[in-house]
């Protein structure tokens, strides 16, 4: 399994019981900025003036809002839950050219990638008193995107609009209010599925 990122999501949830064993939840959360530690890629090796090092600088802070259902199993501490969560992700990539050229006099370039996402996790969990622990699979649907990487000649993105991953969480219940932490990860590396002149842009953790 290949890890792409692991934001910690501080979730604030409001419970409303619809009927016995079923709860409706509104949620909001925040993920701080991330600076992934990845090895640089050396691209365009066959063109002296177009050679450059490529990497991701950062993922900017993200805010989340969503709603979901939790179903508690009768006469048991176990439960299942699903949510629909919206977020907007902004990634910053860096290109450092080895040689200055007329069309890139500044050897250092920054490119932005913006995407609006809908996350749909499906989890199983257990209540341990006021603490709940859960984990499960998550799908992330890209509903809109704008990437400056697409301006580079020879760039191609073969990723589908759905990305799979997993998540786990720990939460503390305080009557109608729930506060918790979530750990999220994708099954693909950063840049996997994107190429420049047929060279993969997948970044590896270091």
- 150 φ, ψ to 5°? -65, -15
- Nearest Cα to 78, choosing from 121, 122, 128? 128
Q: Is 140 exposed, middle or buried (0-12, 13-18, 19+ CB in 10 A)?
A: buried
Tell me how far apart the alpha carbons of residues 69 and 106 are, in angstroms, rounded to a whole number: 51
- Rounded distance between C-alpha atoms, residue 87 and residue 70, angstroms: 21
For the chain, give the mean pLDDT: 85
- Residue 134 has a pLDDT of 96
Cα–Cα distance for residue pair 55/36, rounded to 1 Å: 9
- The CA distance from 151 to 141, in Å, is 23
Q: Phi and psi at residue 100, in whole multiples of 5°? A: -75, 140
Q: Average the pLDDT over each of 36-50, 144-158, 186-200 and give the range with the smallest value.
A: 36-50
When pLDDT is cut at 50, 70 and 90, the band that residue 107 belongs to is confident
Angle at 95 between CA 90 and CA 101, to 5 degrees: 140
CA distances from 110 to 57, 59, 71, 106, 125 (A): 9, 13, 45, 11, 42
State mean pLDDT over 197-206. Answer: 85
Return d(Cα 108, Cα 57) in angstroms, integer. 12
The model's confidence at residue 14, banded by pLDDT at 50, 70 and 90, is: low
pTM here is 0.81
Could you read off the pLDDT of 21-67 as tens digits, one per residue?
888 888 899 999 888 888 899 998 877 778 899 999 999 999 999 99
Give CA–CA dist 171/28, Å, rounded.
14
Question: Which letter does DSSP use for residue 74 in this model?
Answer: T
Task: Quote the pLDDT of residue 5.
Answer: 46
Other Cβ atoms less than 10 A from the Cβ of 79: the count is 19
């Amino acid at each position: 399994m290949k890890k792409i990122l692991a934001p910690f999501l501080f979730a604030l949830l409001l419970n409303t019981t619809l009927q016995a064993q079923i709860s409706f939840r509104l949620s909001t959360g925040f993920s701080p900025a991330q600076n992934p530690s990845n090895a640089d890629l050396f691209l365009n090796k066959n063109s002296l003036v177009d050679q450059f090092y490529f990497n991701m600088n950062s993922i900017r802070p993200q805010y989340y809002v969503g709603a979901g259902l939790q179903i508690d199993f009768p006469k048991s501490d176990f439960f299942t839950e699903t949510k629909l969560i919206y977020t907007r992700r902004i990634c910053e990539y860096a290109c450092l050219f080895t040689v200055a050229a007329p069309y890139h006099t500044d050897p250092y370039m920054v490119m932005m990638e913006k995407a609006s996402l809908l996350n749909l996790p499906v989890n199983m969990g257990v209540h341990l008193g006021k603490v709940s622990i859960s984990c499960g699979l998550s799908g992330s649907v890209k509903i809109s995107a704008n990437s400056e990487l697409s301006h580079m000649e020879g760039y191609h993105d073969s990723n589908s609009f759905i990305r799979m991953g997993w998540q786990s969480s720990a939460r503390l219940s305080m009557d109608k209010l729930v506060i918790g932490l979530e750990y999220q990860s994708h099954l693909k590396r950063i840049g996997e599925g994107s190429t420049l002149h047929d060279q993969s842009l997948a970044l590896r953790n270091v």
